[in-house]
Amino acid sequence: MRGILLFVIYQVFMRNFLRILVGVKYINVAELNKHAQFILVANHNSHIDTMALMSALSYSQIKKTHPVAAGDYFGSSPLKSFITRLFTNALLIQRSKNAEGQNPIQAMSASLVKGDSLILFPEGSRGEPQKMQQFKKGVGLLLKKHPNIAYIPVYMTGMGRILPKGERLLIPFDSYVVFGEASYSQTDDTEAIVKEIEEKIIALGVAFQKSKFE
């Protein structure tokens, strides 16, 4: 039932809304169809980011894909937690190990073990539009534990201008979601994994910007 709800929200409504009325364009989205399970790793400027990525998924993917979100913000009350999970299929985690012993890496790892996919924003919080912050090491720790799961780098641009941090009103603006080729981590060095992903997303951005002028 949830899969049908998510499909209607994102494939029927949200994708058309973002594409036609807002100006979001998808590039190389076919890469998603090559893998049954994956971790989408993207830069982060706006709440629109999650909606845009969820809207790119097929019916079979969307019900098994969880955007990773901060539980202390999106799950700050039982009602907010319920609404977030219902409408985004999010995996709510604490940003650090809490008093009850919950470890965010273990929570994400458990989801992957079940065969689900994840959407990760390694910068953590949304930054200034068009400025990428330093990546946190969580994605490296996760891929170190699951080297058999492909990660797909995603470069997004223009999202922070559609819905800037702190704003509630959408502003139509040409924006792009660029999917890179899936890769597997080739090392068990956490920092090296994080650096590799960061460099791939930056390279996607450079290649995309260059293609616009050719």
How do the domains of the chain map onto residue ranges? Answer: 2-69+103-211
CA–CA separation, 203 vs 214, rounded Å?
A: 17
Span 75-108, pLDDT tens digits = 567 777 777 787 889 898 876 555 455 688 999 9
Structure tokens at 90: 């999010």
Percent of the chain surpassing pLDDT 70: 84
Rg (CA), the chain: 16
Q: Which pLDDT score is estimated for 164?
A: 60
Give, rounded to a whole angstrom, the gap between the first and last alpha carbons of the chain: 46
The CATH superfamily of 2-69+103-211 is Glycerol-3-phosphate (1)-acyltransferase (3.40.1130.10)
Q: Which pLDDT score is estimated for 167?
A: 59
CA–CA separation, 23 vs 174, rounded Å?
A: 5
Span 172-201, pLDDT tens digits = 678 899 999 999 998 989 999 999 999 999
DSSP state of 95: S
Contact between residue 130 and residue 15 where contact means Cβ atoms under 8 Å apart: no
Q: Which pLDDT score is estimated for 48?
A: 85
DSSP state of 38: E
CA–CA separation, 204 vs 214, rounded Å?
A: 16
Q: Which pLDDT score is estimated for 52?
A: 93
Handedness of CA 70, 76, 78, 79 (dihedral sign): negative
Show the low-confidence residues of the chain (pLDDT under 50). 99
